[in-house]
């Protein structure tokens, strides 16, 4: 975690590509300690950092930390990002919430456009595309079958 502290201190010096890679690494680590720095990354000014932080949170859920994510204040940030000005961020947030089992939020959400509405409907039906592999043995791209069955409608 010393690396994430250094990243937070040197945010402006390192630039968004390093923050983006740090978010990916935190998701890949699969540890609940990554939630706090990821919550900050979700509020980053650069959209690529926000998007990869959303994927990282989704990876943590897929790695078995679903309850930890949903009980952490990061859940509120995920809900806020449903209203982000950028569609890619809104959709990534909806997919993250859907994969974590936060479907009640999506049921109550009023999408910004018809495209957003269609995507939310697909997510509510359990049609959430897998994440891209970040290394050959990456198992965090899919929600485990037993967890997926427990959040189906």
pLDDT digit string, tens, across residues 103-150: 899 999 999 899 999 999 999 999 999 888 877 766 666 654 444 444
E strand or H helix at 104: helix 103-108
- For residue 83, the domain's CATH number is 1.25.40
User: What pLDDT does 150 receive?
Assistant: 47
Residue 151 has pLDDT above 50, yes or no: no
Global pTM reads 0.81
- Neighbour tally for 113: CB within 10 Å: 10
Domain extent, residue 22, equals: 2-151
**Cα distance between residue 95 and residue 138, in whole Å:** 19
Q: For the chain, how many structural domains are there in total?
A: 1
- Neighbour tally for 26: CB within 10 Å: 27
The token duo for 1 is 């975690």
């Amino acid at each position: 975690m010393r690396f994430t502290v250094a990243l937070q201190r040197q945010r402006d010096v390192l630039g968004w590509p390093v923050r983006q890679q740090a978010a990916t690494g935190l998701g890949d680590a699969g540890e609940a300690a990554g939630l706090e720095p990821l919550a900050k990354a979700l509020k980053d000014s650069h959209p690529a950092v926000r998007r990869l932080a959303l994927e990282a949170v989704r990876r943590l859920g897929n790695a078995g930390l679903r309850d930890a994510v949903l009980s952490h204040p990061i859940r509120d940030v995920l809900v806020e990002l449903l209203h982000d000005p950028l569609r890619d961020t809104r959709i990534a947030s909806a997919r993250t919430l859907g994969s974590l089992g936060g479907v009640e939020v999506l049921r109550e959400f009023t999408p910004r456009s018809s495209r957003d509405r269609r995507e939310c409907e697909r997510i509510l039906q359990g049609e959430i595309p897998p994440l891209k592999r970040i290394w050959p043995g990456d198992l965090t791209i899919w929600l485990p079958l037993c967890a997926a069955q427990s959040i189906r409608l």
